Amino acid sequence: MADLPAAQDELTPAALERGRLLFAGPCEFFAGAMIMDQLPPPRGPEIAFAGRSNVGKSSLVNALTGRKTLARVSTTPGRTQQLNFFDLGAGKMTLVDLPGYGYSSVGKAKAAAWTDTTRAFLKGRPELQRVLLLVDGRHGLKAGDEDIMKLLDKSAVIYQVVLTKADKVGPVELEKVRAATATALSRHVAAHPVIRVTSSAAGAGIPELRAELAALAEATV
Protein backbone atom coordinates (compact mmCIF):
# COMPACT_ATOMS: atom_id res chain seq x y z
CA MET A 1 0.00 0.00 0.00
CA ALA A 2 1.43 3.35 -1.00
CA ASP A 3 1.88 6.20 1.45
CA LEU A 4 -0.93 8.64 0.90
CA PRO A 5 -0.18 12.17 -0.31
CA ALA A 6 -0.26 15.02 2.22
CA ALA A 7 -3.81 16.12 1.31
CA GLN A 8 -5.10 12.94 2.93
CA ASP A 9 -3.83 13.95 6.34
CA GLU A 10 -4.97 17.55 6.68
CA LEU A 11 -8.21 16.74 8.52
CA THR A 12 -8.34 17.16 12.31
CA PRO A 13 -9.20 14.26 14.64
CA ALA A 14 -12.50 16.03 15.45
CA ALA A 15 -13.39 16.23 11.75
CA LEU A 16 -12.52 12.56 11.28
CA GLU A 17 -14.73 11.69 14.24
CA ARG A 18 -17.66 13.66 12.77
CA GLY A 19 -17.17 11.70 9.55
CA ARG A 20 -17.12 8.41 11.42
CA LEU A 21 -20.29 9.28 13.30
CA LEU A 22 -22.21 10.35 10.19
CA PHE A 23 -21.37 7.15 8.33
CA ALA A 24 -21.98 4.96 11.38
CA GLY A 25 -25.60 6.18 11.34
CA PRO A 26 -28.42 4.57 9.41
CA CYS A 27 -28.09 4.33 5.64
CA GLU A 28 -31.03 3.20 3.56
CA PHE A 29 -31.81 2.85 -0.11
CA PHE A 30 -34.97 4.86 -0.82
CA ALA A 31 -35.30 5.32 -4.58
CA GLY A 32 -34.01 4.12 -7.92
CA ALA A 33 -34.53 6.15 -11.08
CA MET A 34 -34.10 5.04 -14.67
CA ILE A 35 -36.09 7.92 -16.17
CA MET A 36 -36.51 11.55 -15.11
CA ASP A 37 -40.05 11.07 -13.74
CA GLN A 38 -38.66 8.58 -11.23
CA LEU A 39 -36.22 11.05 -9.63
CA PRO A 40 -37.32 11.40 -5.99
CA PRO A 41 -37.96 14.76 -4.33
CA PRO A 42 -34.76 15.90 -2.57
CA ARG A 43 -34.45 15.14 1.15
CA GLY A 44 -31.39 17.26 1.88
CA PRO A 45 -27.85 17.84 0.62
CA GLU A 46 -26.84 15.35 -2.05
CA ILE A 47 -23.48 13.88 -3.02
CA ALA A 48 -23.29 11.93 -6.26
CA PHE A 49 -20.82 9.18 -7.13
CA ALA A 50 -19.83 9.04 -10.80
CA GLY A 51 -17.31 7.02 -12.75
CA ARG A 52 -16.65 4.49 -15.44
CA SER A 53 -18.15 1.04 -15.02
CA ASN A 54 -15.96 -1.17 -12.87
CA VAL A 55 -14.06 1.79 -11.36
CA GLY A 56 -15.03 0.58 -7.86
CA LYS A 57 -18.06 2.81 -7.21
CA SER A 58 -20.21 0.24 -5.43
CA SER A 59 -17.21 -0.86 -3.39
CA LEU A 60 -16.53 2.73 -2.31
CA VAL A 61 -20.15 3.36 -1.27
CA ASN A 62 -20.06 0.12 0.71
CA ALA A 63 -16.68 0.97 2.30
CA LEU A 64 -17.84 4.46 3.30
CA THR A 65 -21.04 3.18 4.87
CA GLY A 66 -19.39 0.08 6.34
CA ARG A 67 -21.99 -2.14 4.71
CA LYS A 68 -20.89 -4.95 2.48
CA THR A 69 -24.00 -5.18 0.34
CA LEU A 70 -25.62 -1.75 0.28
CA ALA A 71 -24.55 -0.96 -3.26
CA ARG A 72 -24.19 -3.98 -5.46
CA VAL A 73 -20.60 -4.91 -6.20
CA SER A 74 -20.41 -6.63 -9.50
CA THR A 75 -17.73 -8.15 -11.64
CA THR A 76 -20.02 -7.62 -14.66
CA PRO A 77 -19.40 -4.04 -15.86
CA GLY A 78 -22.46 -2.00 -16.84
CA ARG A 79 -25.04 -3.78 -14.71
CA THR A 80 -26.05 -0.82 -12.59
CA GLN A 81 -28.23 1.20 -14.94
CA GLN A 82 -30.22 3.44 -12.66
CA LEU A 83 -29.57 6.30 -10.27
CA ASN A 84 -29.71 4.86 -6.76
CA PHE A 85 -30.57 7.13 -3.81
CA PHE A 86 -29.43 6.34 -0.25
CA ASP A 87 -30.52 8.29 2.81
CA LEU A 88 -27.64 8.72 5.26
CA GLY A 89 -28.13 9.65 8.91
CA ALA A 90 -31.92 10.03 8.63
CA GLY A 91 -31.96 13.05 6.33
CA LYS A 92 -28.46 14.41 6.99
CA MET A 93 -27.21 13.57 3.51
CA THR A 94 -28.30 11.72 0.38
CA LEU A 95 -25.77 9.58 -1.48
CA VAL A 96 -26.59 9.16 -5.15
CA ASP A 97 -24.94 6.29 -6.98
CA LEU A 98 -24.98 7.20 -10.67
CA PRO A 99 -24.87 4.61 -13.47
CA GLY A 100 -21.35 3.78 -14.58
CA TYR A 101 -20.37 4.94 -18.06
CA GLY A 102 -17.93 3.92 -20.75
CA TYR A 103 -19.18 0.41 -21.25
CA SER A 104 -21.36 -0.59 -24.16
CA SER A 105 -22.91 -3.92 -23.23
CA VAL A 106 -26.34 -2.32 -22.68
CA GLY A 107 -28.50 -1.61 -25.74
CA LYS A 108 -28.09 1.81 -27.34
CA ALA A 109 -31.63 3.03 -26.57
CA LYS A 110 -31.31 1.99 -22.94
CA ALA A 111 -27.88 3.61 -22.65
CA ALA A 112 -29.25 6.85 -24.11
CA ALA A 113 -32.18 6.83 -21.66
CA TRP A 114 -30.04 6.61 -18.57
CA THR A 115 -27.48 8.99 -19.96
CA ASP A 116 -30.25 11.58 -20.43
CA THR A 117 -31.53 11.02 -16.90
CA THR A 118 -28.04 11.30 -15.43
CA ARG A 119 -27.31 14.44 -17.42
CA ALA A 120 -30.62 16.02 -16.38
CA PHE A 121 -29.89 15.15 -12.76
CA LEU A 122 -26.37 16.61 -12.89
CA LYS A 123 -27.51 19.82 -14.57
CA GLY A 124 -30.63 20.63 -12.62
CA ARG A 125 -30.42 19.52 -9.02
CA PRO A 126 -29.97 22.47 -6.63
CA GLU A 127 -29.39 20.10 -3.68
CA LEU A 128 -26.39 18.51 -5.39
CA GLN A 129 -23.42 19.68 -3.33
CA ARG A 130 -20.64 17.79 -5.02
CA VAL A 131 -19.93 15.00 -7.46
CA LEU A 132 -17.25 12.52 -6.51
CA LEU A 133 -15.65 11.52 -9.79
CA LEU A 134 -14.09 8.11 -9.28
CA VAL A 135 -11.02 7.35 -11.34
CA ASP A 136 -9.04 4.11 -11.30
CA GLY A 137 -5.75 4.82 -9.53
CA ARG A 138 -3.92 2.57 -11.96
CA HIS A 139 -5.09 4.32 -15.12
CA GLY A 140 -5.99 7.97 -14.45
CA LEU A 141 -8.55 10.00 -16.41
CA LYS A 142 -10.16 8.48 -19.51
CA ALA A 143 -12.22 9.96 -22.36
CA GLY A 144 -15.61 9.43 -20.65
CA ASP A 145 -14.34 11.26 -17.59
CA GLU A 146 -13.49 14.32 -19.67
CA ASP A 147 -17.08 14.39 -21.01
CA ILE A 148 -18.63 14.46 -17.56
CA MET A 149 -16.09 17.04 -16.37
CA LYS A 150 -17.05 19.35 -19.22
CA LEU A 151 -20.75 18.90 -18.41
CA LEU A 152 -20.13 19.69 -14.74
CA ASP A 153 -17.97 22.72 -15.62
CA LYS A 154 -20.88 24.06 -17.70
CA SER A 155 -23.42 23.39 -14.95
CA ALA A 156 -21.10 24.82 -12.25
CA VAL A 157 -21.37 21.66 -10.16
CA ILE A 158 -18.24 21.10 -8.09
CA TYR A 159 -16.60 17.73 -8.62
CA GLN A 160 -13.76 16.05 -6.80
CA VAL A 161 -11.64 13.23 -8.13
CA VAL A 162 -11.33 10.15 -5.94
CA LEU A 163 -8.65 7.72 -7.08
CA THR A 164 -9.75 4.14 -6.40
CA LYS A 165 -8.00 0.79 -5.97
CA ALA A 166 -4.85 2.42 -4.58
CA ASP A 167 -3.81 -0.98 -3.18
CA LYS A 168 -3.38 -2.24 -6.72
CA VAL A 169 -0.66 0.23 -7.69
CA GLY A 170 2.81 1.00 -6.36
CA PRO A 171 3.64 4.37 -4.77
CA VAL A 172 5.66 5.75 -7.68
CA GLU A 173 3.04 4.94 -10.27
CA LEU A 174 0.24 6.18 -8.00
CA GLU A 175 1.98 9.52 -7.53
CA LYS A 176 2.45 9.82 -11.31
CA VAL A 177 -1.28 9.25 -11.86
CA ARG A 178 -2.15 11.70 -9.07
CA ALA A 179 0.11 14.42 -10.47
CA ALA A 180 -1.17 13.95 -14.04
CA THR A 181 -4.74 14.08 -12.76
CA ALA A 182 -4.02 17.28 -10.79
CA THR A 183 -2.59 18.90 -13.92
CA ALA A 184 -5.65 17.93 -15.96
CA LEU A 185 -7.99 19.22 -13.22
CA SER A 186 -6.28 22.60 -13.12
CA ARG A 187 -7.77 23.26 -16.57
CA HIS A 188 -11.33 22.74 -15.33
CA VAL A 189 -13.22 25.52 -13.59
CA ALA A 190 -15.51 23.39 -11.42
CA ALA A 191 -12.90 20.85 -10.32
CA HIS A 192 -12.09 20.70 -6.60
CA PRO A 193 -8.30 20.86 -6.25
CA VAL A 194 -7.96 18.12 -3.59
CA ILE A 195 -7.67 14.61 -5.00
CA ARG A 196 -8.56 11.84 -2.56
CA VAL A 197 -6.72 8.53 -2.83
CA THR A 198 -8.67 5.51 -1.61
CA SER A 199 -8.66 1.77 -1.37
CA SER A 200 -12.01 0.20 -0.54
CA ALA A 201 -10.23 -3.12 -0.11
CA ALA A 202 -7.62 -1.83 2.38
CA GLY A 203 -9.69 1.01 3.86
CA ALA A 204 -7.12 3.68 3.01
CA GLY A 205 -8.48 7.19 2.54
CA ILE A 206 -11.99 6.16 3.66
CA PRO A 207 -12.04 8.01 7.04
CA GLU A 208 -10.75 11.17 5.34
CA LEU A 209 -13.44 11.04 2.65
CA ARG A 210 -16.12 10.46 5.31
CA ALA A 211 -14.83 13.52 7.19
CA GLU A 212 -14.89 15.69 4.10
CA LEU A 213 -18.47 14.66 3.26
CA ALA A 214 -19.58 15.21 6.86
CA ALA A 215 -18.18 18.75 6.73
CA LEU A 216 -20.20 19.35 3.56
CA ALA A 217 -23.37 17.99 5.18
CA GLU A 218 -22.86 20.30 8.17
CA ALA A 219 -22.16 23.31 5.95
CA THR A 220 -25.50 22.96 4.19
CA VAL A 221 -27.92 22.64 7.12
Among 100, 140, 205, 207, binds ligand GDP (CB under 6 A): 100
- Return d(Cα 73, Cα 78) in angstroms, integer: 11
Q: Which is nearer to ligand GDP, 168 or 192 (CB)?
A: 168
According to CB under 6 A, which residues from 2 to 41 bind ligand GDP?
none
Report if residue 81 touches ligand GDP, rule: CB under 6 A: no
Burial class (CB in 10 A: 0-12, 13-18, 19+), 80: buried
Burial class (CB in 10 A: 0-12, 13-18, 19+), 6: exposed
Tell the smallest beta-carbon distance from residue 77 to ligand GDP (Å). Answer: 6
First to last CA, the chain: 37
Among 8, 58, 65, 117, binds ligand GDP (CB under 6 A): 58
Tell the smallest beta-carbon distance from residue 50 to ligand GDP (Å). Answer: 10
Tell the smallest beta-carbon distance from residue 1 to ligand GDP (Å). Answer: 10
Encode 153-171: b = buried (16+ Cβ within 10 Å), e = exposed. eebebebbbbbbbbbbbee
Among 31, 73, 182, 216, binds ligand GDP (CB under 6 A): 73
Q: Which is nearer to ligand GDP, 57 or 210 (CB)?
A: 57
According to CB under 6 A, which residues from 190 to 209 bind ligand GDP?
199-201
Tell the smallest beta-carbon distance from residue 34 to ligand GDP (Å). Answer: 17
According to CB under 6 A, which residues from 134 to 163 bind ligand GDP?
none
Phi, psi (rounded to 5 degrees) for 9: -105, 5
- Return d(Cα 221, Cα 21) in angstroms, integer: 17
Report if residue 82 touches ligand GDP, rule: CB under 6 A: no
Q: Which is nearer to ligand GDP, 45 or 100 (CB)?
A: 100
Helix then strand then coil, in percent of the chain rounded to 5, is 40, 20, 40
Count, residues near ligand GDP per rule CB under 6 A: 20
Report if residue 56 touches ligand GDP, rule: CB under 6 A: yes
Report if residue 164 touches ligand GDP, rule: CB under 6 A: yes
The radius of gyration of the chain from alpha carbons, rounded to an integer in Å, stands at 16
Strands 128-136 and 83-88: unpaired
Strands 27-33 and 196-197: unpaired
Would you tell me which residues interact with ligand GDP (CB under 6 A)? 51, 53-59, 73-75, 77, 100, 164-165, 167-168, 199-201
